[in-house]
């Protein structure tokens, strides 16, 4: 899963650059973006399922940075996923490709890897878990989860 997850994240960089150029809250059929101080609840449909529904919850933190949450499920091409839940990552479009413009946020409560899984494969967040960056003044809380969706609360203050 690690290699597939990394290549999928890298594919999102051009879209992230365009998204960060917006200056207000943006919500379209696939992306919910919080760029001003507010609280927003988003139900994320697992990226593996395709179809309609939100795929990303984005909190813009500067002209070049944002935190992104996406729902990862053991389905379709990822049926052997090591962990499911909400994957949180930070995008910094000022960093060149190949040197870390997209960084997965480590979950300190992630399960230990087993089998062919790596530590990075296990970094999904579960219901009741919260990531907070006080410097960026944001918080992402995983509120609930089922077989197809995860609901996150995004906060910016």
Task: Kindly report the number of other CB atoms within 10 A of residue 40's CB atom.
Answer: 16
pLDDT per position as a tens digit, 17-51: 555 555 445 556 789 999 899 999 999 999 888 88
71-103 tens-digit pLDDT: 999 888 888 899 999 999 999 999 987 888 999
Strands 31-34 and 26-27: antiparallel
Q: Please say whether the beta carbons of 32 and 112 come within 8 A.
A: no
Instruction: Tell me: pLDDT of 132 over 70.
Output: yes
Residue 119: is its pLDDT beyond 70? yes
**pTM more than 0.85:** no
Mean pLDDT of 132-147: 97
Whether 134 shows a pLDDT value over 80: the answer reads yes
Rounded Cα distance, 58 and 154, in Å: 8
Domain ranges of the chain: 2-156
- Residue 27: which residues within 8 A CB-CB, separation 6 or more? 33
- Which region among 8-12, 59-63, 122-126 has the lowest average model confidence (pLDDT)? 8-12
> What pLDDT sits at residue 14?
59
Tokens of 125: 């967040």
């Amino acid at each position: 899963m690690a290699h597939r997850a990394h290549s999928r994240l890298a594919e999102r960089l051009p879209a992230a650059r365009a998204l960060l150029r917006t200056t207000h809250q943006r919500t379209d059929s696939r992306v919910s973006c919080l760029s001003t101080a507010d609280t927003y609840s988003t139900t994320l449909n697992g990226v593996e399922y395709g179809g309609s529904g939100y795929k990303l919850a984005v909190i813009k933190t500067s002209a070049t940075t944002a935190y992104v949450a996406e729902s990862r499920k053991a389905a379709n091409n990822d049926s052997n996923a090591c962990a499911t839940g909400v994957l949180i990552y930070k995008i910094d479009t000022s960093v060149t490709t190949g040197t870390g413009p997209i960084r997965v946020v480590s979950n300190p409560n992630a399960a230990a890897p087993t089998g062919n899984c790596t530590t990075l494969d296990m970094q999904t967040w579960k219901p009741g878990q919260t990531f907070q960056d006080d410097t960026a003044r944001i918080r992402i809380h995983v509120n609930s989860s089922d077989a197809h969706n995860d609901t996150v609360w995004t906060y910016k203050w």
